[in-house]
Amino acid sequence: MLILKVNFKSSDFLTKMKIGEVARKARVRTSAIRFYERAGVLPPASRQNGQRDFAAEAELQLAVIEFARKVGFTIAEIKLLFHGFGSGAPASARWRRLAQKKYDEIDAQIARLKGMQKLLKKSLRCNCTKLDDCGRILLSQRENR
């Protein structure tokens, strides 16, 4: 009786794609893929005859990267999302932790922007003829606080 022990990796079955094909499918530029690879966000592609060969997962990873970029994640935060948690950490826990932090940052940014908008709106009522006059008004307001 012959017993075979087989240990297949899923990537062995998946078609390898050239960088142009991955870029087209993921709707990103090839330069972005190379950048993500250099930044350590994407794993380095295997090479055959000097050309990058990407596993099909690269398209999925790029979809996550592009979504994270759209919601304001930095490259460092995206790298943390992919590689900064223990191997057993589910994607949902990763997203929740990083998304809550980003949400809080954006909330603070919105509050700061609203304050700036309020100041600009006040400045639209300026009737000063010289900037020195504006300076006097601003200094007097600062002293009255």
Domain boundaries, the chain: 13-84, 87-145
Give the whole-angstrom CA distance, residue 42 versus residue 38: 8
Q: How far is CA 127 from CA 1, 88, 122, 136, in A?
A: 98, 63, 11, 13
pLDDT digits (tens, 9 = 90+) for 62-108: 999 999 999 999 999 999 999 988 888 999 999 999 999 999 999 99
Looking at residue 56, its pLDDT comes to 85
Work out the pLDDT band at 113, boundaries 50, 70, 90: very high
pLDDT on residue 11? 44
d(CA 79, CA 84): 7
* pLDDT above 90: residue 5: no
CA separation for the pair 116, 102 (Å, rounded): 21
Higher pLDDT residue, 55 or 3? 55
Q: What is the total residue count of the chain?
A: 145
Alpha carbons 144 and 78: distance in angstroms, whole number:
46
Q: For 19-59, what is each residue's pLDDT tens digit?
A: 999 999 999 999 999 999 999 999 888 888 888 899 989 99
pTM for the model stands at: 0.74
Strand-pairing partners, residue 17, are 54
> What CATH number was assigned to the domain covering residues 13-84?
1.10.1660.10
Residue showing tokens 């078609």: 15
- pLDDT band, very low/low/confident/very high, at 3 (cuts 50, 70, 90): low
For the cut 70, the answer to whether the pLDDT of residue 4 exceeds it is no
* Structure tokens that stand for 109 in this block: 């940014």
Taking residues 108-115, report their average pLDDT. 98
With bands split at pLDDT 50, 70 and 90, how would you rate the model's confidence at 14?
low
